[in-house]
């Protein structure tokens, strides 16, 4: 993953465009934080006792994309891409590293899930709903949730990258 563009979300757009742009902005932020690192570096845990890694974040975000835009939004029955299936408390898994996965492979799977997410969203309005925990959730809520999810993990990625090689900003 190299030279990721991180376009600024539009300052004056309709709601749908703004939500999609902010989600893409944070997707790109995580990608930028991972650029130029080796497989070993992206597997470097933050600070004990945490086992959080950049690769674990990418794997987790793959699971989050899969969970919200496939399992929830479209009702698709897809297995986990990484790690254990989503738990009842909303943990989407993926944080645990497997010995055989390369970072390039994890990034490719993440980008594939993002592409599927975009297709699934394009086919629906913000008001379209899907069953979720005994109720209904609309695409607007899912977008908002995903922006928060990515923003939080972008902060984690900032700290991980700084610890790995001192790189800050972006």
pLDDT at 116: 98
- Summary mean pLDDT of the chain: 90
In DSSP terms, 21 is beta-bridged to none
Q: Which domains does the chain have, with CATH numbers?
A: 15-165 (1.20.120.450)
Q: What is the pLDDT of residues 122-156, one digit of tens each?
A: 999 999 999 999 999 999 999 999 999 999 999 99
Residue in the structure block whose two tokens are 């986990």: 80
Of the candidates 93, 27, 13, 94, the residue with the CA atom closest to the CA atom of residue 55: 94
Q: What is the pLDDT of residues 74-91, one digit of tens each?
A: 999 999 887 655 544 445
Report the Cα–Cα distance between both ends of the chain, in Å, rounded: 16
pLDDT at 133: 92
Full-model pTM: 0.91
Q: What is the pLDDT of residues 6-48, one digit of tens each?
A: 889 999 999 999 999 999 999 999 999 999 999 999 999 988 8
pLDDT at 85: 54
Quick check: helix, strand or coil at residue 138?
Answer: strand
Q: Could you count the other beta carbons within 10 Å of the beta carbon of residue 22? A: 19
Backbone angles phi, psi at 82, to 5 degrees: -145, 140
Q: What is the DSSP letter of 73?
A: T
Torsion of CA 152, 147, 139, 95, to 10 degrees: -40
């Amino acid at each position: 993953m190299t030279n990721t563009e991180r376009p600024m979300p539009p300052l004056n757009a309709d709601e749908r465009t703004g939500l999609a742009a902010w989600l893409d902005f944070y997707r790109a932020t995580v990608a930028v934080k991972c650029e130029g690192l080796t497989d070993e570096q992206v597997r470097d845990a933050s600070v004990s006792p945490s086992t959080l890694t950049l690769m674990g974040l990418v794997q987790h975000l793959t699971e989050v994309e899969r969970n919200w835009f496939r399992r929830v939004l479209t009702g698709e029955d897809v297995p986990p891409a990484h790690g254990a299936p989503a738990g009842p408390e909303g943990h989407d898994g993926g944080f645990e590293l497997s010995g055989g996965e390369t970072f390039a492979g994890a990034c490719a799977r993440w980008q594939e899930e993002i592409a599927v997410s975009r297709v699934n969203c394009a086919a629906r309005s913000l008001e379209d709903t899907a069953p979720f925990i005994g109720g209904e959730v609309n695409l607007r809520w899912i977008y908002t949730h995903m922006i928060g999810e990515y923003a939080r993990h972008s902060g984690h990625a900032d700290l991980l990258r700084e610890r790995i090689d001192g790189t800050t900003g972006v």
